[in-house]
Structure 1
Amino acid sequence: MSTLTALTVKGTVKGLPWTVLRLHRTALITWGTGLLAATAALVWMYAIGDDARFGAGGCSIPPTAALPSCEEVHAQTANETYRDVLGLVSTTLSYLMFPVAAWAGGALIGRELENGTARLAWTQSVTPVRWLAAKLAVPALLLTAGTTAAVLLNVWARQDDNPNLVGDWYYPDVFVSTGPTAVTYVLAGLALGALAGLVTRRALPAAGLGFAATLVLYNVLERYREGLWPTVTRSGKPYELPRSAFQVEDGALLTSGGRTDSQPCGEAMSSGSDCVPNPDFAGYYSTYHPKSHFWPLQLVDAGIALAVAALATAAAFWILRRRTP
């Protein structure tokens, strides 16, 4: 069945989703294949998780009742496989928004406006608004379902979240790939790509513009993520923050009540160095996010990305109405 026939037969509100799937079946097959590959990899990681944790654990020479032999631990390679594969999956989920944005701008919207397929659909009793709604709703549903499943599998495969194997919770790729942020980033990429397609009405420029807009969004959110939720401050004499702390700032407290990032002057420091004289030094301070801030940061970050997706979608419909009768 040709594209024209498909649009003629299926060019109703009920048939629009089928038309979208048929026209973009290559992208659908690619998405499904990638999701199956990620599922298989994560199930495999869960299966070797115990061996990986053993290989990343402590050891002793000679072995003791509490610690195994170092030779036995060092011979275990499952930890390297576990770390590498989970890192690859996390990175893929974290950057998934970029190919989605390029595809949405170039193939989903831009190409069909450029070659006239969209106008052909509008002559088959399909209004431009309904056309765009179907174009966005079908991939949004599939991307939301697939990304959510991949995130849940990723969290499941990480098991006890040993940072020596899977990275600390605040690492950019780990943070995005273990919560709702991954889903909202993909939706933002879809919406920004679609908006780029409607602005340029050409496939290649739309793909590039959608990719660039998504890159800006990603970098802004990553740069200012630490400020999305109030930090915790700890101060006093020398102390050590827990491994799970996402440190934002640290330095010295002054007897005047002020703060500085300079260190107190010690015997090894010359009097002319940029340091705090001992009489002015009152202690140390650190501002950080404890691990309990994971969900507040996730929800605020995801909310911003979802708001961007909503605004981009609204702008896309506004542009479409302005440019069509």
Structure 2
Amino acid sequence: MSTPTPHRPAGLTWTVLRLHRTALYAWGAALLATAAVLAWMYVIGPDARAAARSCAAPGAGRAACAHLQAIDADAIYANGLDLVATCVTYLMVPVAAWAGAALIGRELESGTAQLAWTQSVTPVRWLAAKLAVPAVVLTAGTTLAVLLNVWARGDENGDLAGDWFSLHVYDSTGPVAVGYVLAGLALGALAGLVLRRALPAAGAAFAAALVLHDVLSRFRMSLWPASTVTGQAALHLPSGALALEHGAVTRNGERLGNDLACVGLDRSTDISRCVERTGLADFWATYQPESHFWPLQLVESGLLLAVAGLATAAAFTLLRRRTP
């Protein structure tokens, strides 16, 4: 009697995972390393915040602060969080290069894709599996990294963890991280189908990902209406706010932009003297409060998903035109 053969996974999903198992192992190792670093940051977080408070306390000497920042937990904590945030921020770049080179470009260049199309796999099903499998894996892994990053940051001490609007913090603590990764995957796949060669596709996808990130990071604070205040409130913006512009109005009614006169003065008498000395009648400021973090994140994530959708649609259209 013959021994039944054990059941083995089959199908396009298993084929994609097996073919790109090296990238899958690397992705898993990167997630494990990220989780280990962030778990360590969470453990030393209380000590880091205590060290930062001691340094900021009245009467703390420069020598004591320098000592704390040089060898204690606060520097390790801040540097560890910044390292992880930087890696998550630019994750879309290697993802785009990999998608253009290994996921699509190499198979078209070597002819393995055309061989698969002669079997029972249609070109559309082939591309759908090529995109869907890594999209699921990348979305799950990036989401996990973002959640761990937020968890490790604790109470968001800006001196240690960075301000919410700083480039690396903003990109690594919200859904835009997933949006950038999916956009990078789609751009890489499109580059692979257009160029049909691994190295040129990797270079083109790499450049496209960098350009996309640079453009959106430059204009992201314009994606949601900013708040404007006048009077003395313009001189003391809420904690955590990102000041976009400070201005003043002269006694003649002239509106001055980027005018920092009297900003930072606390006492009313000091403000009155500054107003009298500068000849100003009023102040205004435009800023993004910390409460706008989520609206900004959601709008930018929507734009990124739109880019990913358009690139994916273009890839399928191109594939249909090039195959019978």
TM superposition score normalised by structure 1 = 0.86
Q: Which aligned pairs between 1:1-325 and structure 2 lie closer than 5 A?
A: 15-57=11-53, 58-61=56-59, 77-237=72-232, 239-255=235-251, 259-261=255-257, 263=259, 281-325=280-324
1:241 is displaced (CA, Å) by 1.8
Q: Distance in 2 between matches of 1:222 and 1:62?
A: 37
Distance 1:109 1:70, change over 3 A: closer
Residues in 2 aligned to 1:118 and 1:310: alpha-carbon distance in whole angstroms: 23
Look up the match of 2:266.
Answer: none
Worse-superposed segment, 135-144 or 228-237: 228-237
CA contact under 8 A between 2:246 and 2:259: conserved in structure 1? no
Distance 1:210 1:70, change over 3 A: closer
Preserved CA contact (<8 Å) 1:42 1:153: yes
1: CA distance, partners of 2:218 / 2:169: 15
Residue by residue over 1:242-285, the C-alpha shift from the partner in whole angstroms, topping out at 9 and shown as x without a partner, is 3411111112224565532264999xxxxxxxxx9979732221
The equivalent of 1:3 in structure 2 is none
Secondary structure of the corresponding residue to residue 89 of structure 1: helix
Tell me the TM-score normalised to structure 2 length: 0.86
User: Structure 1 residue 168: deviation in Å?
Assistant: 0.3
SS at match of 2:235: coil
Q: Secondary structure at the match of 2:114?
A: helix
Could you say what secondary structure the match of 1:48 adopts?
helix
Q: CA RMSD in A?
A: 2.6
Aligned residues: 300
Q: What secondary structure sits across from 1:287 in the alignment?
A: strand
3-state SS in 2 of match to 1:56: helix
Higher helix share: 2
Q: Is the 8 A contact 1:108 1:194 kept in 2?
A: yes
Contact 2:186/2:311 (8 A) holds in 1: yes
CA distance in 2, matches of 1:83, 1:164: 8
Structure 1 segments of 4+ aligned residues over 6 angstroms from their partners: 69-72, 276-280
Q: How far apart are the structure 2 equivalents of 1:262 and 1:302?
A: 30
Q: Runs of 5+ in structure 2 lacking a partner?
A: 1-7, 263-274
Identity %: 62
Tell me if structure 2 keeps the 8 A contact 1:253–1:259: yes
